[in-house]
Chains A and B, each alone.
Chain A
Amino acid sequence: MLPFFADLVMRTDEARRDFETNPVVLDAVAHGMSIERYRKLLLELYHVVWHFNPVCAAAASRVPDAQRQVRYFLYEHMHEESGHEEWVMNDLEAVGVAHADTRAHTASLHTLALNGYNYWAADRRHPCSVLGMMYALEVIASVYGGTFSSAIRESLLLEGDRGVSFISSHATMDAEHMVTLRQVLNTITDDDAREAVVESATLNFFYFTRVFESV
């Protein structure tokens, strides 16, 4: 039988590749983007990151005892991600957006839909759906984060990690996270949980692509 991670990769293959082959994404990865667009992207990213841990917490509180390994995985992940929204705020400050403006920013409809779905899925669909969200975000960060942050650094003439610290560091971190995520996904045998993870990964790829397009 196919390990669940491989099954997830295969069943979300088209959604992942739709993100990877989106012309806006490809162009940004190859040539970076203007400072205005980068600011917009980081502002949207801020909302995704700010809600990441609450979504994980909502899921962790509902994970059944039979899947306690998922709950422990979420605890550790939340601990690691805690405070990372400040990295995004600092990057925004480096490109000219004050902290107060970031906090006051209203997320776009696509970001609201992305976050809204993730809360709903953790609450009503299946708590393990949060793993689908993580899979999509970590694929995006680990596969494209490094190249994208280099392109941004070059196109905006940024020095070191200033302005790209969040994306740049997650490119490396999420490559390591992917290993542990694979391990925990392979422990899930419940069909309902598996379906929820696949759905969530597909939705997250879809909305993240829209967020990227809209900036």
Chain B
Amino acid sequence: MKRDPTAALTTLMTRPYKYIRLEWSEELAALRLRTCVKPIQCYSLAAMAELQRVFSDIAENPGLVKHYVMTSDVPGVFNFGGDLSLFVLLIRARDIESLRMYGRRCIDLVWWMENASKLGVHTTVLVQGDTLGGGLESVMPFHKVIFERSAQAGFPEVLFNLFPGMGAWDFTIRKAGFAIANEMILSGRLYTAEQLQRRSLVDLIVEDGEGEAAIEAVLRSVNPRLRGTLAALEARRHAAPITYESLMTIVDQWTETALQLTDRDLRLMERLARAQVRKAGGGNEGAVAEIKQIELDTAWGEERTGVTEWGAFA
């Protein structure tokens, strides 16, 4: 039975969300989702549950939402990615089930994004500020990726002996190729918006403060040819397929790897988590500065001893 679109929209827009804010544009049938996860802008379990609720509402009402746009309400931060303090807690509790559950919930969100074209939804993301690890992974499946010039991103997981397990490999290989995926994931480096655009991971760079106008321009340019665009994007999925099985296999491997992290690795993860709080609390220096410091410390350690040594952080 087909649902009443007005009732469906009312349901979607009036649910009591805590970490996201929704806006609706009638003219373009565009749903704007703004994230503001407290106290740290990351993919906490509660925030992911809200995102999943929105995605389910969209999927249950085909044709209702034609454009999905995601942005952050937190100044200077798009998303810090995985909930590092939760990881530390679950790893210390040797709780593989919950870690796996966390990873699989991430994959379910990524998989929904991957299937958005099939659902008749064009997706656009605007990144204003830092986006790390899972934050960058969550950006990858969007059809249109806009970065403001000062935004930075990367996969720092290797710095604490982990790897990004929620779609980074599949989506980076699809968009940028194997060599670049290798470089980005294995180096743990941070990249500027321009460096990411050169690697085909960002479609459009705009000056700081011009992101909102860029979203509007993208929606208005895609909307008249939406059906054709979605059909082409759907065909792209067949040309360069990403499978749910591959994503799940990788996230399961991520879980096993996470459980093998040592106390040193966990302390490094905690250090990064604390840096995220500093940034979330309005500080200028946050996780990005911390990663740069860790990179420097590592390079210094390598130069001095010839090996990467994390003992200094233990």
Chain A positions within 8 Å of B, measured between CB atoms, are 2-3, 5-6, 9-10, 13-14, 16-18, 20-21, 23, 26, 29-30, 139, 142-143, 146-147, 175, 178-179, 181-182
Contacts and interface: CB of A to CB of B under 8 A. Distances in A.
B98 A5 contact: yes
A5 B274 contact: no
Interface residues of B, number: 27
A5 B45 CA distance: 14
B93 A5 contact: yes
7 contacts: A14-B38, A17-B39, A21-B39, A26-B274, A143-B88, A147-B267, A147-B270
Interface in B95-128: 95, 97-98, 101
B176 interface: no
A17 B85 contact: yes
B228 interface: no
Contacts of A178: 89, 92-94
A143 B85 contact: yes
Contacts, number: 68
Q: Which of B88, B263, B274, B280 has the most CB of A within 10 A?
A: B274
Contacts of B263: 146
B59 interface: no
A26 B286 CA distance: 13
B266 to A, nearest CB: 9
A20 B277 contact: yes
Given A14-B38, A16-B89, A143-B85, 16 more contacts: A5-B93, A6-B97, A6-B98, A9-B86, A10-B46, A17-B44, A20-B85, A26-B277, A30-B274, A143-B270, A147-B267, A178-B89, A178-B92, A178-B93, A178-B94, A179-B94
A7 to B, nearest CB: 9
Contacts of A175: 92
Q: Is the interface of A mostly helix, strand, loop or mixed?
A: helix
B93 A13 contact: no
Contact of B280 (A6, A21, A139): A21
Nearest to A30: B274
Contacts of A9: 45, 86, 89-90, 98
A23 B86 contact: no
Lowest 6 A-B CB distances belong to which pairs? A6-B98, A21-B39, A178-B93, A182-B93, A10-B45, A21-B277
A140 to B, nearest CB: 11
Interface in B58-108: 85-86, 88-90, 92-95, 97-98, 101
Nearest to A182: B93
- Of B40, B46, B89, B277, the most chain A CB neighbours within 10 A belong to B89
Contacts of B44: 13, 17
